[in-house]
Amino acid sequence: MPFIKVENLVHKFFERNNEGEIIDEKNALDGVDFQIEAGQFIAILGRNGSGKSTLARHLNCLLFPHEGSIWIDGNEVKEEDDINIWNNRKNIGMVFQNPDNQIIGTTVEEDTAFGPENLEFSTEKIRDRVDNALKMTGMYKKMNVSPNSLSGGQKQRVAIAGTLAMHPKCIVLDEATAMLDPDGRKELISTVHRLNKEEGITIILITHFMNEAVDADRIFVMDNGMVTMMGTPKEVFSRSDEIKNLGLEMPVMMNVAIRLKNDGYEIPVDVFTIEKLADVYEQLYRKHLNGE
Partner 1 sequence: MLRDITLGQYYITESKIHSLDPRVKLAGTMLYVISLFLTDGLLGYLVGAIFLGIIIKISKVPFKYMVRGLKAIIFILIITAACNVLFYQGTTTIFRAGFVKVTVEGLEVAAAMSIRLVMLILGTSIMTLTTSPNDLTDGLEKSLGFLEKMKVPVHEIALMMSIALRFIPILVEETNKIMKAQTSRGADFTSGNLIQRVKNYIPIIVPLFISAFHRASDLAMAMESRCYRTGRQRTKLYPLKYEKTDYKGYIVIIIYFIIMVGMKITIEGLGVGGFFTM
Q: Is residue 64 close enough to count as binding partner 1 by CB under 8 A?
A: no
Q: Is residue 106 close enough to count as binding partner 1 by CB under 8 A?
A: yes
Instruction: Give min distance, CB of 51 to partner 1, in A.
Output: 17
Toward partner 1, which CB reaches closer, 88 or 211? 88
Q: Is residue 114 close enough to count as binding partner 1 by CB under 8 A?
A: yes
Site string for partner 1, 143-162 (x = CB under 8 A): -x-xxx----------x--x
Alpha carbons 226 and 29: distance in angstroms, whole number: 6
Alpha carbons 130 and 132: distance in angstroms, whole number: 5
The residues in 270-289 that bind partner 1, with binding defined as CB under 8 A, are: none
Of 66, 127, 135, 239, the one binding partner 1 (CB under 8 A) is 127
Query: Degrees (nearest 5) of the Cα angle 10, 13, 213?
Result: 65
Q: Is residue 195 close enough to count as binding partner 1 by CB under 8 A?
A: no
Alpha-carbon torsion (118, 124, 128, 131), positive or negative: positive
For 86, which DSSP code? H
Of 166, 176, 248, 254, the one binding partner 1 (CB under 8 A) is 166
Toward partner 1, which CB reaches closer, 121 or 281? 121
The residues in 19-58 that bind partner 1, with binding defined as CB under 8 A, are: 57
Instruction: Give min distance, CB of 16 to partner 1, in A.
Output: 17
Enclosing H/E stretch for 95: strand 92-95
**Is 237 within 8 Å of 258 (Cβ atoms)?**
no
Toward partner 1, which CB reaches closer, 104 or 278? 104
Q: Is residue 104 close enough to count as binding partner 1 by CB under 8 A?
A: yes
**Is 165 within 8 Å of 140 (Cβ atoms)?**
no
Helical ranges in 121-214 per DSSP H = 123-136, 152-164, 182-198, 210-213
CA 174 to chain centre: 6
Alpha carbons 135 and 98: distance in angstroms, whole number: 23
Query: Which residue ranges make up the site for partner 1 (CB under 8 A)?
Result: 57, 60, 62, 86, 89-90, 93-94, 96, 98, 100-107, 109-110, 113-123, 126-127, 130, 144, 146-148, 159, 162-163, 166
